Structure 1
Amino acid sequence: MSSQSSCIFCTIVKGIFKLLETETMLAFMDIGPIARGHCLVIPKYHAAKLSDLPDHQMGDILPALAKIASASGNENYNILQNNGRPAHQEVDHVHFHYIPKPADAGDKAGLVVGWPIQGLSQEEIRTSYDELKRKL
């Protein structure tokens, strides 16, 4: 986990383009947007990955994303959250992207996603289910 002092999000908690703020969460405009209206929602608690974030620090995040989505007026959008470099996380602080997807933009604006279905058998899915269910 990166230290709080070297985390860009932790240093901009009082930054510009602040949209919403609660005791545990901050929402602000992304400074490297992939679409007009691209925002970030972060917990104020410094945690590198979602699994590092205590439950009591998560309560305001989804409501903030819903408020931003509603206020934006965009009918289509993505909510994205990445964990770790192989999963495309660039900043080691939990963050959620609100990314508008204009209906007429095609792949020219917003998030472009591939979905490489793995074609797992029902037996393979059952094995994964059993392993995860046991650990939950």
Structure 2
Amino acid sequence: MDTCIFCQIIAGQAPSHRVLEDEHAVAFLDISPASPGHTLVVPRVHARDLWELPEDTCADVARLAHRVAALLRERLEPDGLSVTQANGAAAWQEVFHFHTHLIPRWRGDALRTMWSPDRASFEDLRKMADRLAQR
């Protein structure tokens, strides 16, 4: 897609700092990193979000993300790694080309959780499981 910045990066038409790539996906540094080494992994084919992404392409992205995670661990020695992925503006997706964030984490860093960790009731969980279960 001509207007998609990630498609432009993949095609070499927009600048990026690539970290790793293969025939299916490309990993490059986020221009607004949450932490040093914050890397995005994107499929070479355009898909707006997880709902548009073919299952096999999702697996391809996951494989490269796994390799990037190992690279980040080896080179940066973080205390942890957050892996996030958003779908739709309501979930804070800003670029509408499927992508996964790999964010190196260190104890005491300024990053905070995205949700309140309030415990759900057993009954609420049961109702949701009933609603979602494929029976």
Gaps of 5+ in 2: none
Deviation at 1:54, TM superposition (A): 0.5
Show structure 1 runs of 4+ deviating over 4 A.
none
User: Retained in 2: the 8 A contact 1:22–1:60?
Assistant: no
> Identity over the aligned pairs, expressed in percent?
34
Quick one: distance in 2 between partners of 1:21 and 1:56?
17
Deviation at 1:43, TM superposition (A): 1.0
Q: How does 1:1-136 map to 2 (within 5 A)?
A: 4-13=1-10, 14=12, 15-73=15-73, 74-103=78-107, 105-107=108-110, 111-134=111-134
Quick one: distance in 1 between partners of 2:122 and 2:88?
28
Q: How large is the Cα RMSD of the aligned pairs?
A: 1.9
Output the amino acid matched with 1:90: E
Quick one: distance in 1 between partners of 2:83 and 2:97?
16
Which deviates further from its counterpart, 87-96 or 116-125? 116-125
Output the amino acid matched with 2:3: S
Quick one: distance in 2 between partners of 1:119 and 1:72?
32
Output the amino acid matched with 1:33: P
Deviation at 1:63, TM superposition (A): 2.3
SS at match of 1:90: coil
**Partner deviation per Cα, 1:55-90 (whole Å, 9 max, x = no partner):** 121222222222222222323111110111111110
| TM-score calculated relative to the size of structure 1 | 0.82
Q: Provide the aligned length of Structure 1 versus Structure 2.
A: 128
Deviation at 1:118, TM superposition (A): 4.8
Quick one: distance in 2 between partners of 1:128 and 1:88?
24
Output the amino acid matched with 1:62: A
SS at match of 1:31: coil
SS at match of 1:79: strand
| TM-score calculated relative to the size of structure 2 | 0.83
